[in-house]
Chain A
Amino acid sequence: MAAKPPAIVLRILDAHRRYADAAALDGVNLDVAAGEIYALIGRNGAGKSTLAKAAIGALALQSGTVRVLGGDPARDRAIAGLIGVAPQEIALYGHLTVAENLHTFAALAGVRRSRSEAVAAAMAATDCTPRAGTRIDQLSGGWRRRANLAAAIVHRPRLLVLDEPTEGLDSQTRMALRRLILDLKAAGTAILLISHDADDVRALADRVGVLDAGRLVVEGAPADLMAQAFDGRQDLVVRLSAPASAAETILLKRGLGATDDGLVWSGLVAGAPAKATALDQALRDHGVAAAEISVRQPGLDALIAWACSDGAAKSIAAASGAAA
């Protein structure tokens, strides 16, 4: 007998929202299931924040529907109470301590009995307990991010919307928060993650959706999308110590493009490690010593650029045709 698929927690159907001169959402369809992390990426102004606000009922759609566990979060207070949100800003009262903030938001979310236990659990989950009595405006950025997340989960939401949860954090804190988010996922929380951080998306997301001009242009598992977009190609980056005309010819011939200052060159190439060694030798042969030659996995910017290009549309259309 096949396992029962996880319940859909967030369902957005044909969401449309226009502002004065542009469509912020243009027919978006999206599902997030219990225990799933869905990462939403896209360029600035693509509609990510608009979609996130629509998902929690804070923004009225001109057409389309948003359902959280079958209810409308904009109209049903009980449904709204099942949602937790950690905005990109530190959405906490600066003059209150961590514990006071959590008590406040637990009370506002309707947690009546065992509020102290809920606060203690949220602080323990985010490792905020040692700073329980410290005012938010006296905390460092990392602790504030943890407290921001703790306030989002203090009422044990079924849907969690996280906007850039690890922005500006050191790697240790970033790892800790990632572990926490994975714990929440394991506990069955549906998570809508908005992030510009490729490492976050790779480490956390089960599925990735790319928004472009209000439309969800590509959606899939991160590894699948990377394979589809880059087909094994990697980002070859060359950093020169000084501009050299001899180097330019060599780099251009190998498909690399320069940044504004002409010192950093990069491009997506197949067989990047071997080509990096060959390129290093070619530059030396022409008397140019590169300061650094590196091979990287393509970043989110490259994925977004691919997703928003005609190539992606053809690729997706071909994949759809093959599946049919």
Chain B
Amino acid sequence: MILVILRVMALGVWRDRAGLFLIFALPPVVFIVFASVFGSGVNGRIDVRAGVVDQTSSVDSRRLTSAVKQSLDGRLTAWPSVAALDDAVASGRLDAGLVIRGDLATTPTPITLVIHPGRRAAGELLGADVDAATAKAMPDLLLRREVLRLKPVLALKAAQIRRVGHAPAIASPAPFVARRELPGADPMVIYYAGAVSILFVMFTAMQGAMSLIEERRAGLRLRLGLSAGGVAPLLLGRMLWLTALGVAQAAGLFVVAAILYHIPLVESLAPWTATAIAAAAASGGIALALAAACPTREQAQTLSTFVVLILAAVGGSMAPRFLMPAPLQALGWLTPHAWVIEAYQTLLWRRILDVGVLQAWAALAAFAAAGFLVALTLESRRRL
């Protein structure tokens, strides 16, 4: 009997090809958007659009402009005046700006960064880009500036200064700091894989659970009410289907994450599967309880949208939980989302299966059981 209902639900999704496409295509798309915005992205960069006003038009300033432009992958445009640049930054057409005001070798502070208070991070990134591009492409300029700064102390003569300024070996010293990058996926990408998956799994579960209301409306509930097993198998079949669908949906998203962002899915497949099952069951339980509580589809639609959005916002599916104030973070533990995100992060980022993951599974199982029992109680008492 459970399998009969499971089959009915599965055929409903399978034969709705447009719905099937959305169930499996939409979550990875939204995940990629979130991962691109909040993670360090595929190339480890945040793309800043910048403008430059070169008031000196010297050989050095042109070299610097070219180096910064190359560093920003071409997203540096020349502007005719400081006023025009200010206006572009203020209106958001540019993220930040540069004004080259004096000779780069001799002026104490030859460059001004134009920053909007709403985009301080972009200004900081542009400043770092200028420093890095100068160090990489114009070490001679930096050396000339140092020599000029030290000239009074060392009593250098003009000939010595010229020699130093044109000595590549001196101008390009060995780097002071070497970098060693550890292997591993971006934690924010893992965070949003979990966050987006639970958001969509719950949304899909809500839509799937609406079949309870449709059956009531279409008179099917009268016929189903005469079935030999009563209400429990009818609900259990739905619960199993919503769980299976949720796991498949999460799997689709995490496979994309594994391919694009190298999330270690295969290495943690068993605990990942347990987490996905628990997350989908929790979503199914909550969705069934809501559908059982609502007399009409319209009411259920409104309520489920409200619940999905509130749980997602508080649970950390929209903005990272560590950015939330402490009381909101604490409140998040009342949502399945926080447990799901925490479990995936522990498994796929920290690569451990600790007591926190076990607690998450227990919490999600409790959500599933509570939701199912509420739905069972309401549906058993329902008289049509």
Binding site for B on A (CB under 8 A): 53, 56-60, 73, 77-78, 80-81, 83-85, 87-93, 95-96, 100, 104-105, 107-110, 135, 151-152
Contacts and interface: CB of A to CB of B under 8 A. Distances in A.
Given A95-B11, A108-B1, A90 B218 contact: yes
Q: Interface of chain A, helix or strand or loop or mixed?
A: loop
B226 interface: yes
B220 A92 contact: yes
A95 B16 contact: yes
Given A93-B8, A108-B1, 19 more contacts: A53-B222, A56-B222, A57-B225, A60-B383, A80-B228, A87-B219, A87-B223, A89-B218, A91-B220, A95-B16, A96-B11, A107-B4, A108-B4, A108-B5, A108-B228, A110-B227, A110-B229, A135-B15, A151-B223
Nearest to B225: A58
Interface string B260-299: 0000000000000000000000000000000000000000
A91 B11 contact: no
8 contacts: A53-B384, A56-B226, A78-B228, A80-B228, A89-B219, A91-B222, A95-B16, A107-B1
B12 interface: yes
Q: Which 10 A-B pairs have the closest CB atoms?
A: A110-B228, A87-B219, A89-B219, A108-B227, A91-B219, A107-B4, A59-B383, A91-B220, A80-B226, A58-B384
Interface in B1-56: 1, 4-5, 7-8, 11-12, 15-16
Given A77-B228, A91-B218, A53 B223 contact: no
B230 A77 contact: yes
A96 B14 CA distance: 11
Contacts of A78: 228
B224 interface: yes
Contact of B219 (A60, A88, A107, A110): A88
Given A77-B230, A81-B226, A100 B384 contact: no
A88 B220 CA distance: 11
Contacts of A100: 11
B218 to A, nearest CB: 5
Contacts of A104: 4, 7-8
Interface in B349-376: none
Contacts of B234: 108
A179 B227 CA distance: 27
Given A87-B219, A89-B218, A107-B1, A96 B8 contact: yes
A152 B223 contact: yes
B361 to A, nearest CB: 33
Nearest to A78: B228
Contacts of A152: 223
Contacts of A59: 383-384
A54 to B, nearest CB: 9
Interface centre among A60, A73, A108 (most CB of B within 10 A): A108
A92 B222 CA distance: 11
Interface residues of B, number: 25
Contacts of B5: 108
A80 B228 CA distance: 7
Interface string B207-245: 000000000011110111111111000100000000000
B213 to A, nearest CB: 14
A147 B129 CA distance: 72
Given A58-B384, A60-B383, A109 B11 contact: no
Contacts of A73: 226
A109 B228 contact: yes
Contacts of A135: 15
Given A89-B218, A96-B11, A81 B223 contact: no
Contacts of B230: 77
A78 B1 CA distance: 15
Contacts of A108: 1, 4-5, 224, 227-229, 234
B98 to A, nearest CB: 61
Nearest to B218: A89
A95 B15 contact: yes
A109 B233 CA distance: 12
Contacts of B218: 89-92
Nearest to B211: A93
A283 B11 CA distance: 66
A96 B4 CA distance: 12
Contact of A85 (B7, B11, B226, B228): B226
Contacts of A81: 226-228
Contact of A105 (B12, B223, B229, B384): B223
Nearest to B226: A80
A85 B222 contact: yes
A152 B219 CA distance: 12
B8 A58 contact: no
A93 B227 CA distance: 15
A266 to B, nearest CB: 35
B225 A95 contact: no
A57 B12 CA distance: 29
A109 B226 contact: yes
A93 B4 CA distance: 13
A56 B383 contact: no
A53 B384 CA distance: 7
B106 to A, nearest CB: 79
A105 B220 CA distance: 10
Contacts of B383: 53, 58-60
Nearest to A17: B383
Nearest to B1: A108
A206 to B, nearest CB: 24
Contacts of B227: 80-81, 108-110
B226 to A, nearest CB: 5
Contacts of A110: 227-229
The residue in B217, B219, B230, B234 that gathers the most chain A C-beta atoms within 10 A of its C-beta is B219
A85 B223 contact: yes
A71 to B, nearest CB: 13
Residue in A53, A107, A151 whose Cβ sees the most chain B Cβ within 10 Å: A107
Contacts of B11: 95-96, 100
A73 B11 CA distance: 31
A90 B214 CA distance: 12
Nearest to B14: A95
A317 B219 CA distance: 39
A266 B94 CA distance: 83
Contacts of B8: 93, 96, 104
Contacts of A57: 225-226
